């Protein structure tokens, strides 16, 4: 068995922080909040380049919109949350990582976030050392739902292709589940701000309410 984790919305409770950052930027620059709320859902689990494209496609016709200013406002909001210690681990995150390490399971982190963001989010909790390898969004050319990030993580863990069926990927986003399935791995969805859909139930090997439930489920494999 091998386990690969997504980070945002799985290890750290950051997706809602990102959403609040987007809404703050919408109010700051006079952009329609309904459109921002919809765009914020669409960017869950994607790379920064795809997020920029989605935001430009959504708001590019508004004269007051400047994608760089919007992203700067989001980064400043996010930095404030991290620096003030308000970014929290998801319930059960530390426990499942310790449990899997004690059982000798190889662990990978595959996050669409850039490496410096990963370090900021996880550095204060001392959990980075739990992972045998870390793959960030700036290490791949194609973001989720393309499977590239999971294939690279598997390669760095030394997992042969014939054992991809023994790789469990813990995800909260639709694109993450799609990417894991496309890689030939077994996706486990732990919903965060996006509810599971019929498609997710079809693609994931399990949809579980918490990381504690994931730990128990994996212990029975």
Give residue-wise pLDDT tens across range 34-50: 999 999 988 887 778 88
What pLDDT score does 120 carry?
Answer: 84
Mean pLDDT of 88-97: 94
CATH code, 181: 3.40.50.1000
What pLDDT score does 60 carry?
Answer: 93
Give residue-wise pLDDT tens across range 157-188: 999 999 999 999 999 999 999 999 999 999 99
Whether residue 196 sits in one domain with residue 116: yes
Whether residue 95 sits in one domain with residue 76: no
pTM, full prediction: 0.84
- Among residues 11, 181, 219, the alpha carbon closest in space to that of 109 is found at 11
How many other C-beta atoms are found inside a 10 Å radius of the C-beta of residue 109? 24
Mean pLDDT of 209-213: 97
Whether residue 105 sits in one domain with residue 7: yes
| Domain endpoint, select from 52, 83, 114 | 83
Whether residue 188 sits in one domain with residue 204: yes
CA distance 176 to 157: 19
Whether residue 143 sits in one domain with residue 171: yes
Whether residue 77 sits in one domain with residue 129: no
Q: Where in the sequence numbering do the catalytic residues fall?
A: 6, 8
What pLDDT score does 62 carry?
Answer: 95
Count the domains in the chain: 2
Domain that holds residue 146: 2-13+88-219
Whether residue 193 sits in one domain with residue 102: yes
CA distance 11 to 96: 10
Helix-, strand-, coil-residue percentages of the chain, each rounded to 5: 55, 10, 35
- Among residues 72, 77, 63, the alpha carbon closest in space to that of 21 is found at 77
């Amino acid at each position: 068995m091998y386990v690969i984790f997504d980070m945002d919305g799985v290890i750290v409770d950051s997706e809602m922080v990102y959403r609040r950052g987007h809404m703050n930027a919408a109010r700051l620059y006079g952009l329609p909040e309904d459109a921002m709320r919809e765009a914020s859902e669409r960017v869950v689990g994607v790379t920064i380049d795809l997020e920029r494209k989605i935001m430009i496609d959504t708001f590019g016709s508004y004269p007051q919109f400047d994608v760089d200013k919007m992203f700067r406002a989001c980064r400043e909001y996010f930095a404030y949350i991290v620096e003030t210690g308000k970014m929290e681990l998801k319930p059960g995150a530390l426990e499942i990582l310790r449990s899997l390490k004690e059982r000798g399971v190889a662990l990978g982190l595959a996050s669409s976030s850039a490496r410096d963001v990963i370090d900021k989010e996880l550095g204060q909790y001392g959990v980075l050392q739990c992972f045998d390898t870390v793959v960030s969004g700036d290490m791949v050319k194609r973001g989720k739902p393309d499977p590239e990030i999971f294939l690279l993580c598997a390669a760095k863990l030394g997992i042969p292709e014939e054992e991809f069926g023994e790789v469990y990927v813990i995800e909260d986003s639709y694109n993450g589940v799609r990417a894991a399935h496309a890689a030939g791995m077994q996706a486990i969805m732990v919903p965060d701000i996006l509810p599971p859909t019929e498609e997710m139930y079809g693609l994931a090997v399990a949809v579980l309410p918490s990381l504690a439930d994931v730990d128990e489920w994996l212990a029975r494999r």
